[in-house]
Structure formats: structure tokens, C-alpha cells
């Protein structure tokens, strides 16, 4: 096709206001669809990431709990041994008392360690915070899915309206686009 033929084809193209509005609507719906897709993708990633972080915090909590329990058992055994056995040398009794004190300190340290944030109390709070973030992202995700479906159907209907010059289809596409945009906004802000 020569440049003269192309310009002649453009001159004969139908540039009716209806088709221009419909094409503009398709463009706007496609833009909102891209934003919705981005929001849905981010919500999905965040829910997965925070689920992993929560599981890691709970696993670390369980490991701390097991170690703390082992220290409690060992401390109880030392305490019983100190009370039952009077035949031990003073040096042995002193060594056992020091060990018992060391075990009790470790038991307390495993319960709460604010300076490092690795105590059971801090780990539980961290796990709960990650669960909260995961749950928030999981509440967002369906809204983006709804938006994507509505916007895709709206784009198809607007495209068909361009081909058939049917205003009713364009109106329906606009309505679906508004619902899709509202779902996208709700996905970000969770008003509903």
C-alpha cells in the first residue's frame, strides 16, 4: 500500500463521534484494567510473602519453646537433685546452683527478649502482625479479580459497539467499566 493509498483510506475512515467515544472508552477501560491487574498481582504477592513470614515466625517460636522447655526440665532436675542429695561436696552444690541460675536466666530470656526481638513474646507479636498483613491482602485480592472480569467484558462490549454502532452496548460497557473501576478502588482501599 502506497502512502497516497493510506491517506485516502484514512480520509474514508468513519470518525463519527460515537466511534471516537467508544474508542476512548476502550482506552480508559484498558488503563483501569492494567491498574487493577497490578493491584491484584501485588495483593497476591503480599499475601504469599506475609504467609511465609508468619510461618517462619511461628517456627522460630516453636523452636524457642522447645529449648525453653528443655531448660525448664533440666532446671527442675537440678533443683530436685540439690534438695535430695546432702552428700555432695560444697563445690558440687555451688556448681549445680550456678547452673540452675543460668538455666533460669535462659528460661526468662526465651520468654521475652526485647533487645533482639527474638523472645517468644516478640515472635508471637511478629507472627500475628504478618498474619494481619496476609489477611488484609487476601481481602483485597477478590476485588481486583472482580474488577478485571468486569473491565474485560466492558472492553469486549465497547469493541463490539464500535463495530456494530450500537449505543446500548456502549452504555452497558460504560456501566461495567464503572463497576470495574469501583471494584479496583475498593481493592486498594477496602471500603466494603
Max intra-chain CA distance, the chain = 114
In which band, very low, low, confident or very high, does the pLDDT at 177 lie, cut at 50, 70 and 90? very high
CA distance 36 to 6: 37
Residue 12 lies in a domain: no
Place of cell 456494530: 164
Q: What is the mean pLDDT of the chain?
A: 93
Residue 8 lies in a domain: no
Residue 54 lies in a domain: yes
Number of separate domains in the chain? 1
Percent of the chain with pLDDT over 90: 86
Residue 13 lies in a domain: no
Tens digits of per-residue pLDDT, 2-33?
556 655 554 555 679 999 999 999 999 999 99
Residue 85 lies in a domain: yes
Do residues 165 and 82 make contact, with C-beta atoms less than 8 angstroms apart?
Answer: no
Percent of the chain with pLDDT over 70: 93
Residue 65 lies in a domain: yes
Place of cell 504478618: 130
13: left (phi over 0), alpha (psi -120 to 50) or beta: beta
pLDDT value, residue 87:
82
What's the domain range around 133?
A: 18-189
Residue 5 lies in a domain: no
pLDDT value, residue 43:
98
Residue 3 lies in a domain: no
Tens digits of per-residue pLDDT, 81-117?
888 877 888 899 899 999 999 999 999 999 999 999 9
Name which of 167, 160, 188, 183 is nearest 26 in CA terms.
160
pTM value is: 0.83
pLDDT value, residue 62:
98
Q: Name the grid cell of 43.
A: 495483593
CA distance 110 to 82: 24
In angstroms, what is the C-alpha Rg of the chain?
A: 33
Do residues 18 and 163 make contact, with C-beta atoms less than 8 angstroms apart?
Answer: no
CA distance 176 to 101: 70
Give the mean model confidence (pLDDT) for residues 132-145.
98
Q: Name the grid cell of 60.
A: 522460630
Residue 55 has pLDDT above 60, yes or no: yes
Tens digits of per-residue pLDDT, 149-168?
999 999 999 999 999 999 99
Amino acid at each position: 500500500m502506497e502512502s497516497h493509498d493510506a491517506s485516502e483510506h484514512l480520509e474514508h475512515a468513519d470518525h463519527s463521534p460515537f466511534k471516537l467515544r467508544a474508542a476512548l472508552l476502550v482506552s480508559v477501560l484498558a488503563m483501569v484494567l492494567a491498574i487493577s491487574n497490578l493491584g491484584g498481582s501485588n495483593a497476591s504477592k503480599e499475601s504469599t510473602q506475609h504467609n511465609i513470614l508468619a510461618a517462619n515466625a511461628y517456627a522460630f517460636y516453636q523452636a524457642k519453646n522447645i529449648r525453653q522447655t528443655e531448660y525448664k526440665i533440666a532446671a527442675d532436675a537440678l533443683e530436685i537433685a540439690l534438695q535430695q542429695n546432702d552428700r555432695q561436696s560444697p563445690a558440687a552444690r555451688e556448681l549445680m546452683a550456678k547452673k540452675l541460675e543460668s538455666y533460669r536466666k535462659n528460661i526468662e530470656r526465651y520468654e521475652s527478649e526485647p533487645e533482639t526481638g527474638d523472645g517468644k513474646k516478640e515472635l508471637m507479636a511478629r507472627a500475628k502482625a504478618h498474619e494481619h498483613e496476609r489477611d488484609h491482602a487476601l481481602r483485597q485480592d477478590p476485588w481486583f479479580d472482580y474488577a478485571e472480569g468486569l473491565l474485560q467484558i466492558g472492553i469486549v462490549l465497547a469493541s463490539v459497539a464500535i463495530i456494530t454502532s450500537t449505543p446500548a452496548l456502549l452504555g452497558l460497557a460504560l456501566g461495567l467499566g464503572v463497576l470495574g473501576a469501583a471494584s479496583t478502588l475498593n481493592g486498594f482501599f477496602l471500603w466494603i
